[in-house]
Amino acid sequence: MPESLISARGLTKKYGDFTAVDAIDFDVAKGESFGLLGPNGAGKSTTMRIIAATSQRTSGSISILGRDPEEHGPQIRAHLGVVPQQDNLDGELTVTENLFIYGRYFGLSKKFIRNKIEELLDFAQLQEKRDSKVEALSGGMKRRLTIARALVSEPDILMLDEPTTGLDPQARHILWDRLFRLKETGVTLVITTHFMDEAEQLCDRLVVMDKGKIMAEGSPLELIKKYSTKEVLEVRFGSERNKEVAPVLRDMCSRIEELPDRILMYVEDGEALLEEIVAKKLHPTTSLVRRSSLEDVFLRLTGRSLIE
Q: Give residues in contact with other proteins (CB under 8 A).
A: 52-56, 72-75, 77-80, 82, 84, 86, 88-94, 97, 100-102, 104-109, 111-112, 133, 153-155
Q: With respect to other proteins, which residue has the nearer C-beta, 191 or 294?
A: 191
Query: How far apart are CB 107 and other proteins at their closest, in Å?
Result: 4
Strand 33-37 to strand 18-29: parallel, antiparallel, or no bridges (unpaired)?
Answer: unpaired
Distances (CA, A) of 123 to 18, 85, 152, 156, 166: 41, 21, 11, 17, 21
Query: How far apart are CB 176 and other proteins at their closest, in Å?
Result: 23
Q: With respect to other proteins, which residue has the nearer C-beta, 75 or 239?
A: 75
Contact 46, 60 (CB under 8 A): no
Query: How far apart are CB 133 and other proteins at their closest, in Å?
Result: 8
User: Which of 124, 120, 91, 79 is CA-nearest to residue 112?
Assistant: 120
Q: With respect to other proteins, which residue has the nearer C-beta, 123 or 288?
A: 123
User: Which of 219, 218, 228, 210 is CA-nearest to residue 306?
Assistant: 210
Q: With respect to other proteins, which residue has the nearer C-beta, 77 or 205?
A: 77
Query: How far apart are CB 191 and other proteins at their closest, in Å?
Result: 16
Query: How far apart are CB 56 and other proteins at their closest, in Å?
Result: 6
Contact 108, 100 (CB under 8 A): no
Query: How far apart are CB 137 and other proteins at their closest, in Å?
Result: 15
Starting at the earlier edge strand, list the strands of the sheet with 4-15: 18-29, 4-15, 59-64
The Cα 51–Cα 27 span in angstroms is 12
Q: With respect to other proteins, which residue has the nearer C-beta, 110 or 243?
A: 110
Distances (CA, A) of 271 to 166, 248, 263, 287, 290: 35, 18, 15, 10, 10
Q: With respect to other proteins, which residue has the nearer C-beta, 103 or 220?
A: 103
